[in-house]
Structures are given as structure tokens and as C-alpha cells.
Amino acid sequence: MAFSYEPEKVPTEALHWVRYKVGATKNDASPLVDDEEIHGALVLEGLTLTSVPSEATRKPLHFAAASVARSIAAAFARQGSAGAPPGQSPKHGSAEIYLKLALQLEAQGSLLVSIGGVMVDTSIAATGSARITASTSETRSREQWQSG
């Protein structure tokens, strides 16, 4: 199993970008994730290890990183401490952190954020004409939300 991470390549290669996003940047006796696992997640999203991070690859890169974060969470969940009450081991806490990270990465990939239970497309600030979709499937223009 291989491990590689070169910080200067984060902006130019998908492998290093994913490692950076999930925090799997240390090469020790047992790295959090191997290059082969990242490669698999990238391939599932139609990318390669050397795909260039850009606006065009933003969504699949975030989804690949989310998949890697879930893989790390699963590994921690399997390693739970013997004798610790269920859900109370340090490894369980790490698994939860990586699951939350996966959700954050997916949200970043889809450019949607939740504000008070309402999903908002973050392109509003950039275009001024985006629409806001509430979880009830009710859609209003930005002007309607501002005017009440």
C-alpha cells in the first residue's frame, strides 16, 4: 500500500487535494488512508489521481473526499476499544468526526448550506439571482424572501 502527500501539489493534483481535505497528511506506520483508496474514490467520481482541482472538478472532488472520509470513519468504527461501553470509545468519537466531515464535504460539493432549516444555494452572493428552496419544497425568489 502506498502513501504520498506533497503539500505544494494540493492545488494541482486530486490525490493531494483529497488528502488535505480529509486531514490524512501524515505518513506513519498506519496512515489513515492509502493512495489506492483515494484512487478508487476518485475513479468512482470520474477523476484520476492527477486530475486538476478546478471549478469543473469541484463537485466530484468533494464527493470523492466525502467517500474517503466515510472510509476512514468506518475503519475507526471497526477498531472500537474493547471493554468500553458502546459508542463511548475514543475510536467511536473519531468515527463520528469523520462522518460529520463527510457531510460537510458533500455540502461544499453541492454548494448548498442550511440556514435555519432552509437550504440556500451559495451562488446567491455571486449572481444575485439564485433561488432559495425550503425543505418544504416551497421555492421563492430572493426578493420575495426579503420583502416578507
Could you report the per-residue pLDDT of 26-84, keeping only the tens digit for each? 887 788 999 999 999 999 999 999 999 998 999 999 999 999 999 999 988 888 655 55
Confidence category of residue 113, pLDDT binned at 50, 70, 90: low
And the C-alpha cell for 37? 483508496
pLDDT of res. 87: 52
| CB-count exposure of residue 9 (10 Å: 0-12, 13-18, 19+) | middle
pLDDT of res. 88: 56
CA distances from 8 to 12, 43, 121, 124 (A): 8, 23, 31, 32
Whether the predicted model's global pTM rises above the 0.75 cut: no
Please check whether residue 135 is in contact with residue 119, taking contact to mean a CB–CB distance below 8 angstroms.
yes
DSSP-derived letter for residue 9 is G
Section 106-122 average pLDDT = 66
The DSSP H or E segment spanning 108 is: helix 90-110
**Proportion of the chain above pLDDT 90, given as a percent:** 49
For the cut 90, the answer to whether the pLDDT of residue 111 exceeds it is no
Residue 100 has a CB neighbour count (10 Å cut-off) of 12
For the cut 60, the answer to whether the pLDDT of residue 97 exceeds it is yes
